[in-house]
Amino acid sequence: MIQSEHSSADKSAMARWDSLATHPGDSMCRMLLVAIAAMTLLALACGTAENAGSESNSPPVEDSIATMGAASIPVGHASDFEMSTPSHGVFNLDRLEGRPLVLNFWFPSCPPCRAELPDLQAAYEIHADEIQFLGVQLLGLDSAEEGQEFLDELGIEYPSGADAENQMVRDFKILGFPTTIFIDSDHNIVKKHAGILSAGSLETLIDLTIAPASTPVDVSGS
């Protein structure tokens, strides 16, 4: 279990992580992939413990990430993509023109991914009219069918689909799971966060992503 030095929401998320069992597997290949995933998550855990939980070594959300000047500087233009979802059709940047986006990369056998999903669903219920949510499932450890069954079990309603040939994982240079990318209405990447996000951190980053650059955002309670 990763020990968080931050908010009670973080501790709650980590408690959910600690209580989740990993998805069972039978084949040697599956076991090897689980081991690789575990090492990746351990590396992310060490980064969190050293206050380096997000890309480009910026401070974590609960500390000083959310100074308006720093957090509103885009870190690059988002790669175009095409994601097919079972119930919501095909998504790409053309369909999302003028609409900000939360991209969450996950897979069912990843305990912190699974622990984070309820907070993403709660945020979706609040912000669905303001920002698009899209889940991107890594294929390999789990099938697309297993992923959808798990989403149905948790009651996840925002669009989510399996990443065909893991193309989006490569295009967005995803190195660990979960990773959440916040993309503004001009399709600039505002923030790429590797590791689990608390509900408070998620709310702060959504506000920063949907707010016009000239609008100050109160981050004192993040």
- What is the share, in percent, of the chain residues with pLDDT greater than 90? 52
Look at residue 210 in the predicted model and tell me its pLDDT. 93
pLDDT tens digit sequence for 87-99? 899 998 888 888 9
Please give the structure tokens belonging to residue 102: 């939360």
- Four-point Cα dihedral 201, 204, 209, 211, nearest 10: 180
Average pLDDT value for residue range 10-34: 45
Mean pLDDT of the chain: 73
pLDDT tens digit sequence for 177-212? 999 999 999 999 999 999 999 999 999 999 999 986
Place of tokens 């309820």: 118
Average pLDDT value for residue range 44-60: 36
Give the Cα separation of 16 and 13 in Å (integer): 5
Q: What is the full DSSP assignment across the chain? A: -PPPSS-HHHHHHHHHHHHPPPPP--SHHHHHHHHHHHHHHHHHHHHHHTT--BGGGPPPIIIIIT-HHHHTS---BPPP--EEETTTEEE-TTTTTT--EEEEEE-TT-HHHHHHHHHHHHHHHHHTTTSEEEEEEPPSSS-HHHHHHHHHHHT--S-EEE-GGGHHHHHTT--SSSEEEEE-TTSBEEEEEES---HHHHHHHHHHHHS-TTS----TT-
Fold topology of 8-210:
Glutaredoxin (3.40.30)
Give the Cα separation of 127 and 114 in Å (integer): 20
Torsion 207-212-214-215 (CA) sign: negative
Residue 215 has pLDDT above 50, yes or no: no
Look at residue 9 in the predicted model and tell me its pLDDT. 45
Look at residue 93 in the predicted model and tell me its pLDDT. 84
Which residue ranges make up each domain of the chain? 8-210
pTM higher than 0.75 for the full model?
no
Q: Which residue has the higher pLDDT, 125 or 56?
A: 125
Look at residue 76 in the predicted model and tell me its pLDDT. 80
Look at residue 182 in the predicted model and tell me its pLDDT. 96
Give residue 25's pLDDT band: very low, low, confident or very high (50, 70, 90): very low
